[in-house]
Amino acid sequence: MNTPMPHGWRHWRLERRTDGLAWLTFDRAGAAVNALSAEVMAELAAVLDALQADPPAGLVIHSGKAAGFIAGADIDEFAELNSPQQAQALVERGWRLFDRLAAVPYPTLALIHGHCLGGGLELALACRYRIAVDQPGTSLALPEVMLGIFPGWGGMRRLPAVIGAPAALDMMLTGRPADARRAAALGLVDARVPARLAEAAAAQQVRSGKPPRRARGMAGWLGRWPLKLLVARRAHRQIAARDPQGHYPAAPAIVTLWSRHDGNALRAPDVVQRILTSDTARNLLRVFRLQERLKANGKPAAGARPASHVHVVGAGTMGGDIAAWCALKGLTVTLQDQDAARIAPAIGRAAELHARKLKDPHAARAASDRLIPDPDGAGVARADVVIEAITEQAEAKQALYRALQPRMKPDALLATNTSSLSLAALRDGLAQPGQLVGIHFFNPVAKMPLVEVVQAGPDELGAQARACAFVGQIGKLPLPVRDAPGFLVNAVLAPYMLEAMRCVDAGLAPETVDLAMTDFGMPMGPLELADTVGLDIAMAAGRQLAGQDEPPRCLAERLARGELGRKTGRGFYAWHDGKARKNNASAPPPGLAQRLVQPLVERAAQLVPDGVVADADLADAGVIFGTGFAPFTGGPLHYRATAGPTSAAGHAAPAPSNP
């Protein structure tokens, strides 16, 4: 007979079974996911008190939430850190509790399904054993570095001991998750099992008497003195190469805490205080919350049926990659173009994407099988969402819509991926204008998380909300925007890229201009970005968005020579195998980064009162996730508000004279 133990805890349920095992269920009260708040951890300490008084034969810790095991620490408590003493106390609370869990005399096991992140994985590492349920969504990670902090509750000590220093540092310095398959391959879990066998496998493992997993061979030796110092030096060099300006101090702090303090942050209170109370941590926490707000836009209405079939018209780079992504995310996709030969390259790229993302050959094959070439457009009649991704010519798009609408299901969405045309103009003359909505992806589709969802005028059919739900369904971040030239992202990029080109006209090398912005924290410079987008598109955007009668001379000259950027192999740079070939850059002149970023910030600020986005937070979210704007700043408008006028708008660097 199984006996639940009544202790009056709100978040934990303890059950004693006849085989002597105790099963501890974490089900945080009043929350959709499990997070480790102060109250939750105080109750866990009380659970350990009860088990200390009457030890079980073994303990299995699992989750009562369908969403997953534990999503990590309570983010709100990090946001409330106002003093070094509070930061130190927060680290100490988790370190002491998980050390206590690791030291109990009976075997312990974490049975993991769904997300097991941050403090959740640190709790699991404090157990003797771990089993992962092999199902979609199971994900183990220490992503604290992405919030500008470090795993301070034992993860920096225990993860390297379990899987070896190189693999552990990779996980901690990138925040990269491991699914059940990879976790088993790393040795992070003792086994991965199907859901139907999970409880039986957990009971068997916790009674097995096997020693806990430890890194062996060279992986184990690299975590020992003095080899760990060599590993640490190499890691510091790699971090410095990726972040030469030191915008993200948590990464080197993790290496230092592991190599010099055995992963125990309590031995380095100065590091704890410096990292946990830094502006970077506060701003990255802000970015995390902005991301969660965008995700909330993608939640479907109660009772709404998710899309199951998508039809994409246009098998070029954007259309083909949108189709490939939708198939990756489990939807049936029909892809239409003028003939099968035009569709074939998209099918090939899709197979590469599916193999790269899914790893499992059977899953990759199944995803590719969901993508069906459809030159005749038979899938239109069955599709829940029809996405148009053809040439940027209004007349061609409108003719296509008139042909599509009579064949579509009455409740299907018709979406355009236009990046520059007015949605209101595209709707003109349609039998059902409210059926058309903008769903604007960014290139490359597989890497860019943001999708702008565009609405023009009243939304009687709820098309924008339904389109946002579809975007959320395929794992992207939907940003509702109003129909306006360039929407949000392209509208802020156009003046930014044009200012960079003016600097080239004034005599600066493209490499120097781009270096100023990568040093600022951008993922790539504005001229490399213009090459990637296409200089012909940059020209059109500049005319439309910035009102430029005369384009920058450097742009006009390249267009006259047919140098359109990456797609022709030459623009501001020569391109080879998808990479820009650059000369060594000279040091940017003082103030150049501020001069370049100023028009972007000013344009973003203008779009909020214009109603293109609902508020400044959404403007920041869109620019961060749509352009890669330096996340450590918290977004362009937050940067302007907190950095002050000198840093944000900047004393514009004087235009250098021509040599």
Q: Return the active site residues.
A: 122, 144
Contact (Cβ atoms closer than 8 angstroms) between residue 192 and residue 131: yes
Length of the chain: 659
- Looking up tokens 């099968």, which residue turns up? 340
Coil, helix or strand at residue 88 = helix
Residue 484: closest CA among 390, 297, 380, 609: 609
| Parallel/antiparallel/unpaired status of strands 115-117 and 68-70 | parallel
Question: What is the DSSP-derived secondary structure letter of residue 607?
Answer: H
How far apart, in Å, are the Cα atoms of 205 and each of 1, 60, 200, 311, 450?
21, 10, 9, 47, 42
Residue 471: closest CA among 290, 298, 294, 304: 298
Question: What is the DSSP-derived secondary structure letter of residue 18?
Answer: T
How far, in Å, CA of 523 to CA of 133, rounded? 36
Q: How many CA atoms lie within 13 A of 328 on its CB side?
A: 24
Coil, helix or strand at residue 152 = coil
Angle at 429 between CA 428 and CA 435, to 5 degrees: 75
Question: What is the DSSP-derived secondary structure letter of residue 629?
Answer: -
Contact (Cβ atoms closer than 8 angstroms) between residue 498 and residue 600: no
How far, in Å, CA of 375 to CA of 312, rounded? 11
Q: Which two tokens stand for residue 378?
A: 């038979």
Q: Measured over all CA atoms, what is the biggest interatomic distance in the chain, rounded to whole angstroms?
A: 88
Angle at 12 between CA 203 and CA 288, to 5 degrees: 105
Residue by residue, DSSP assigns 37-85 as -HHHHHHHHHHHHHHHHS--SEEEEEES-TTEEE--B-HHHHHT--SHH
Residue by residue, DSSP assigns 490-523 as HHHHHHHHHHHHHHHHTT--HHHHHHHHHHHT-S
How far apart, in Å, are the Cα atoms of 376 and each of 311, 312, 402?
12, 12, 16
How far, in Å, CA of 92 to CA of 244, rounded? 31
Residue 156: closest CA among 68, 245, 268, 45: 268
Contact (Cβ atoms closer than 8 angstroms) between residue 71 and residue 115: yes
Backbone angles phi, psi at 15, to 5 degrees: -125, 125
**Region label for 296, one of left (φ > 0), alpha (ψ between -120 and 50) or beta (otherwise):** alpha
AA letter at 181:
R
Contact (Cβ atoms closer than 8 angstroms) between residue 342 and residue 315: yes
